[in-house]
Chain A
């Protein structure tokens, strides 16, 4: 069983719609969860981090975490063509103590925002 699972996509949404990206993880002791955006040929860019159950909003992005279900998601509101990229879910076991532990990445979901 993969440690971090994502649907590879592509996920196609029309411009202006909400894109919903999902991720499940297998290690119950995981404490920190991240979403990275990666454009083709570029390195991953951190867009959201979440540590507690519930929702965290930042602009058009909302991260949702449910530790009981071992599930984390990313919602992108008012999707734009510039949001077209691969979104990587990453998980680690660091507990917000200031020490970034190693990340386990999912395979990524490719998002396509159509005009």
Chain B
């Protein structure tokens, strides 16, 4: 399986500020994704991070709020902008499409608390 390193693992931020989360994969992957998991809930896809082009956002998520970069096949960032307490959640990076299969693996997640 691919090893995905995500940082920071947790942070407490003031409302109105922004936080950038980094995701590093130990090998090239075709696809990278960003998910959100709110307390007691399942995972919701925020966007697909496309290498060399703009991310593809799911309904309810917009680029101004969650800008994403993916400069190469092993790295991506997600920024949570102008944060409010409603953004408190776990943010998860996922990568897949490695070695010809469709399995996707997750980083350890970033637990964000906005105060």
Contact = CB atoms under 8 A, between A and B. Distances in A.
Given A49-B101, A96-B101, 4 more contacts: A43-B106, A43-B108, A49-B103, A100-B31
A59 B72 CA distance: 36
A100 B107 contact: no
- 10 smallest CB-CB distances across A and B, nearest first, come from A100-B96, A100-B97, A98-B100, A94-B102, A43-B106, A43-B109, A107-B42, A105-B43, A100-B104, A100-B31
Interface string A79-115: 0000000001000101111111111111110000000
Interface in B77-115: 90, 92, 94-109
A34 B103 contact: yes
A101 to B, nearest CB: 7
Nearest to A48: B103
Nearest to B32: A100
A95 B99 CA distance: 14
B48 interface: yes
B102 A44 contact: no
B69 interface: no
Given A43-B92, A46-B1, A101 B102 contact: yes
B41 to A, nearest CB: 7
By size class, the interface of chain B is: 20 to 34
Nearest to B48: A102
B75 interface: no
**A interface: dominant SS:** loop
B33 interface: yes
Interface residues of A, number: 27
A26 B8 CA distance: 36
Nearest to A41: B111
A28 interface: no
B42 A106 contact: yes
A43 B36 CA distance: 11
Contact of A46 (B45, B104, B108): B104
Nearest to A106: B42
Nearest to B97: A100
Given A43-B109, A98-B97, A100-B97, A108 B103 contact: no
